[in-house]
Amino acid sequence: MQELEPSILQKINQWLQPDYDIDTRNQIQKLWDEKAYIELTDSFYKDLEFGTGGLRGIMGPGLNRINKYTIGAATQGLSNFLINKYPGEKIKVAIAHDSRNNSDYFARITADVFSANGIHIYFFKELRPTPELSFAIRRLGCRGGVMITASHNPKEYNGYKAYGADGGQFISPDDEVVMDEVSKITRIGKIKFDRVTGNIELIGEEMDQLYLDEIIKLSVSQDAIKRQHDLKIVYSPIHGTGITMVPKALAKFGFTNVNLVKEQITPDGNFPTVIYPNPEEKEALTLALAKAKEIDADLVLATDPDADRVGVAVKNHEGEFILLNGNQTLSLLINYILNAWQEKEKITGNEYIISTIVSTNLIDEIAKSKNVACYNTLTGFKWIGAVMTALEGKKTFIAGGEESYGYLIGDLVRDKDAIISCAFIAEMTAFYKDQGSSLFDAMLDMYQQYGFYKEKLVSITKKGKSGAEEIKAMMQKFRITPPTTLDGAKVVTLKDYELGTETDLLSAKTKGIDLPKSNVLQFITEDGSVISARPSGTEPKIKFYCSVKTDLPDKRAFKEAEKQLEEKITSIMNDLAV
């Protein structure tokens, strides 16, 4: 075993002790016998940490894997945090899970540990979407909650999203305190695994109904829906939790012609019909697009396994179905809702929307034109939720979202919500169709009014310990020697969110950034292009977000303008050598 570092070997030997169950020990022993040193190193070289999406990783034995013991340690640490934060109180939490392999098992482990710590659990008896968990936390007066999910990651992954009393994911300083409490669980003897059944209360359909009753109150175009109720909608849950709520939400809004992708409606953690269950990927929508073409649909919707993200496809002028990216869908939603609020004279100057620093600046332009404040947060919906909680009772939240296909309308939850989003995207489509237009035309109209913004995300995957070191080195290089020009345009501004500084590279003047520290670099050129570099908080990736813009004086020039912007993005990425 000389190929393993002594510290890693020590941890492996600890997990081979009788304190751990026989199945876990057998899995580790098998890797040992096979001399799978790289996998063993990756499984034990560090503890799983909370990132922007919580605890997430590959399932299997080890400290750096999702399993009974890492889930148990996280829950024991969270229990200790809640007990310390709310002394003498009867603490309540809510738990839900998605369709992933072992999600129901990990949810039960989570319930076991909470209940053994004297905490009352509202346990969704069947799989439910992430946003409904957030809603339940707020509705039931819980002090926290847990969602077992790895969102749109591959089937080998699972995860643990921890939520606070506001229904949002933990942010500083609470997230650091939770992490500290979890780190104190240095041996499994500290984890209380013995379930107290009396502390567990099952919930389900009654919460569904409360949630749907509140969603419908947000609708702004019911008359258009009544006239366009038979809008042809194709929907796929991609084997996830969306099947439990999206069809109900669309029906609640009044849509009567929803066509389900039958091959993908059964929840299945193996995701047998797709490579990745990610609605950002065209491949994941293959069956939905085929169905849409077959029935000449008006709209295609697809949600990820825990139904917090939604992918959208619409017809262009040639009758071809095209996928909208997250920035396009978010911009359309914001533009539609703000226009509706303006027409109903509901905008008083006290309203606001929220976006993120890596999402399109088109959002800011739309908000400015409507006299609505726009707050830009760090990446991760927990930061959007934090702004909403800080402004609750002071200002009116209308809508918000991020480029990674997550949106929220109204303040019912504190996380991205594909259930509400699907209903509103369908409503928006019905509204424009009622005017003799389409969602595609509405997008071109928006570009004509505010400018044609085009964004692209380039992700580079670097797996394991060596990959993490490579990503760290890339960020360090960009931080020390930022590019001077991109696509021939001078880089005039460098924003370093980890240092909390914004530097004018022409004058060398620096000012502070009023946001929490985050490992993000942003380069802004003299022609308005914005390029952001950011290691993912939930995946072994470094992400580059590129945003460019031009004018669109004529709709007929869309394709040519899009081609030019695409070439511009390619040139910028080449200059960055990524």
Cβ–Cβ under 8 Å, residues 373 and 352: yes
Neighbouring residues of 7: CB distance < 8 A, sequence distance ≥ 6? none
**Would you list the DSSP string of 36-68?**
-HHHHHHHHSS----BTTBEEEEBSSSTTSBSH
Alpha helices in 344-463 (DSSP H): 362-369, 381-391, 418-434, 439-450
Give the H/E segment covering residue 29: helix 22-33
Cβ–Cβ under 8 Å, residues 433 and 299: no
* Residues 200, 13: Cα–Cα separation, whole Å: 35
151 is catalytic: yes
Q: What is the largest CA-CA distance in the chain?
A: 73
- Is 260 in a helix, a strand, or coil? strand
Q: Which two tokens stand for residue 29?
A: 């022993």
User: Which one, of 9, 43, 38, lies nearest residue 27 by Cα?
Assistant: 43
User: Which one, of 255, 220, 205, 263, lies nearest residue 238 by Cα?
Assistant: 263
Alpha carbon distances (Å) from 19 to 52, 415, 441: 32, 38, 63
Q: Which two tokens stand for residue 171?
A: 């942010």
* Residues 521, 532: Cα–Cα separation, whole Å: 6
Q: Which two tokens stand for residue 410?
A: 């109204």
- Is 572 in a helix, a strand, or coil? helix
Cα dihedral 193→194→198→203 (10° resolution): 30
| DSSP collapsed to 3 states, 152-171 | CCCCCEEEEEEECCCCCECC
Residue with tokens 């992400």: 543
| Beta strands at 120-124 and 92-97: parallel, antiparallel or unpaired | parallel
Q: Which of 79, 151, 331, 359 is catalytic?
A: 151
Please give the positions annotated as active site.
151
